[in-house]
Every structure is written in structure tokens, then in C-alpha cells.
Amino acid sequence: MVLNEEQQLLKDTIADFLDEHAPTSALRELRDNPDAPAWQDMLWQQLCEMGVPAAAQPDSEGGLGFGWLGQGAILREMGARLTASPLISSVVFAAAVVRHCASAEQAQQWLPGLTEGTEIGCVAFQEKSHFHVDAQLAEGPTGTISGQKLFVPGASKAHSLFVTARRNNGDFGIARINLPLHGVEIAEELLFDGNRYAQVRFDQTEISDVNWLQGTDIEAGFQRAIDEATIALSAEMIGGARALLTQTVDYLCEREQFGVKIGSFQALQHRCAQAYCQLELAESAVLSALTALDSNPTDLRDTASRAKALVSDAYEHISNEAVQLHGGMGVTDEMDVGLFLKRSRVCNQMFGDANWHRERFASLRGL
């Protein structure tokens, strides 16, 4: 990423901190302990004290003023170490939902805690096994909702839940629920990437009228929030893909076969060169998307879809190549390669896979 001096200093500072406090091995500890939380509270508190949640906010709003390029640099370093945190699910996604879907009074009340990291929010919108935005969950005639939402990250540690539903008049709506609440059941599950997500079930859950977000165009605002979260996730994926490619090249330069380093084999060099070119192209698209966020355009669909499609392809390709080029060791749990491969597969499905975003990219051009 093309960063200015201050943004580069932020990136280096975060990298040094994560190397010491949240290396890739930390994910293994969370994964292997069935009683472990979705992320370590102490680590998140330290990141908040460093100002990580407020990195993209301007100085006038109490932030650090590094912009989305600075936030993207942080996400890239976290992706390179598979760091578990609520940075995307809460600070980016939930805060964006409030920013674009709530009224000014609601935003003034709910936004500071989310952007400072002191309140953890999560968004429950997915109801099918694949990415799908349209809400089937509906508000009942008595102001209650019943049904379930899938793949909600960090729900077990959240203070508030933003749930999408169809209102009685048929309009798309979003309600804010304080947790815990009677009628809301959270069933946490460990996905194969080592992170914890949840199924959230609603059983005649009462929602007061004041808890429904009251923005002017909630459906369009929610799509904008998804696009912002998609770009943030793409930045994390770039970090993971680049770290994995670096590990693979280092391995090829060390591994000997037939008395020579296998990195000297031209066929393997070509495969690494192809992966590198694909990664550079994807990173350019992510950089363009982060720059677009800093300029605050009215429509991010084109930019977000381009970035997510390219980085999904790159991360999948590099993880496949890493497994093959490491040989049989690449599929063992002793190496980090498998952790990155599994993370790539989960990230590819989040907020739409490459095919979904290609179709949207094409439809935006009337194709």
C-alpha cells in the first residue's frame, strides 16, 4: 500500500505490537480451547488504548486522523497474523450501520461507544447458508420478531445486536437490541478457520419502536455499510495473502532437494511470480477502494465488488499454491499454511464470494 510517513509509522507500530502480543500461534490457543472467547479482552483493550478503533476517524471527531488507508494498514497487519478481534464486525460494520441507517439523535447516542471500542456491537442479517442481504425475518403484529440469523461474528461478547427484519408495513428495517435480552438465544460455534460465530435465535423477542433505526433510507444505508465492511475485510485478506506468499517463498529458498534449493527451479519461480502479480493487482484494487472511502463517494458498490472479487481469487490461489509448494507438510496442523487456507475460504464467503461480486460488477454496467 502507498502510505505517507505517518501511516507507515502506524503500520510498523502495529506490526511490532502484534508480533509480540498476537502472533499466529494466538489463534491456535483460541481455537484449541473450547472455553476460550472469540478474542482476548486484554488484547482488544490494548489495541483500544493505542487508538486502533479510532484510526480512520478525523481529528475533529476525536480520532487519530489516519484515514481509511491507515485503518487498512492496520487490518492488513492483523490479517497477516490471523488476529481475532471485533475490529471489522463492530468498529467498521456495526458503526457503519449506525452511521448510515440511524437518525442523528440515535447516532449521537450509539456511535461513540462503537468507534472507541468500548462497546461491542454485531450485525445479524444473514439467514441462509450463502451471503444474502434481503431479510425474511419479519416483525409480528405485536412488535415482536421470531426466527434466526446465521454466522454472526462476536455475538457471544456483544453488548448490542443490530438485526435486520421486515417491518409490518413491508419496509426493510434494522432494530438495535441490548444484550442479554429475554427471547434472544445465542448459540456459538467454531468455524474451521478457528474463529467463533453464532446462530442467534429470536423467540417472540419484543422490540420497542424507539429501538428501530430511524434513518431516511435504511435499505440503501445498510448496503453502504456492507460495502464498507467488505472493503475492510478485503484489506485484511490482502495481509493474509501476502504473509502466506512470503512464507512460501522463504520455504522454497530453504528447502533442498537433489542437493539444491528448490527455489532455484524455474517452474516454481514462475508459479510464485504469477501469484505475486495476482496479489499486486488485488492490492491495487483494495488501495483504490480504501482511497474511495477517504473521499466518501455516494456509491461504493463498483469499488467494493472489484476489490473483493480480485482479493478473493488471489487469496484462494495463493493458499492453494502454498499447500502444494510446501508438499505434504502444507496440510498438517504443525504449519501455519493450513490456518491461512482455512481463513481464506471463510473470508471468500463473507459479504459475497468472487462470483457474487463479479455478477454485481457486471450488472452495474448493464451487462
Domain map of the chain by residue range?
A: 5-85, 121-211, 218-364
Is residue 264 pLDDT above 70, yes or no? Answer: yes
- Alpha-carbon Rg for the chain, nearest whole angstrom, is 21
CATH placement of domain 218-364: 1.20.140.10
| Mean pLDDT calculated for residue range 338-348 | 96
As a whole number of angstroms, the distance between CA 274 and CA 80 comes to 20
5 vs 119: which has the higher pLDDT: 119
Of residues 279 and 2, the one with the higher pLDDT is 279
Average confidence (pLDDT) over 150-172: 94
5-85: which CATH number, 3.40.190.10, 1.10.645.10, 1.10.540.10, 3.20.20.100?
Answer: 1.10.540.10
**1 pLDDT tier (thresholds 50, 70, 90):** low
| DSSP bridge partners of 121 | 160
Q: How confident is the model at residue 327 (pLDDT cuts 50, 70, 90)?
A: confident
Lowest mean pLDDT among 54-68, 111-125, 215-229, 285-299: 54-68
- pLDDT given at position 103: 96
Q: What is the pTM of this model?
A: 0.96
Q: What percent of the chain has pLDDT over 90?
A: 82
* pLDDT of res. 230: 98
- Per residue in 54-64, pLDDT (tens digit) is 999 877 667 78
Say whether pLDDT at 293 is over 80. yes
Q: Does the domain at residues 121-211 carry the CATH identifier 3.40.50.720?
A: no
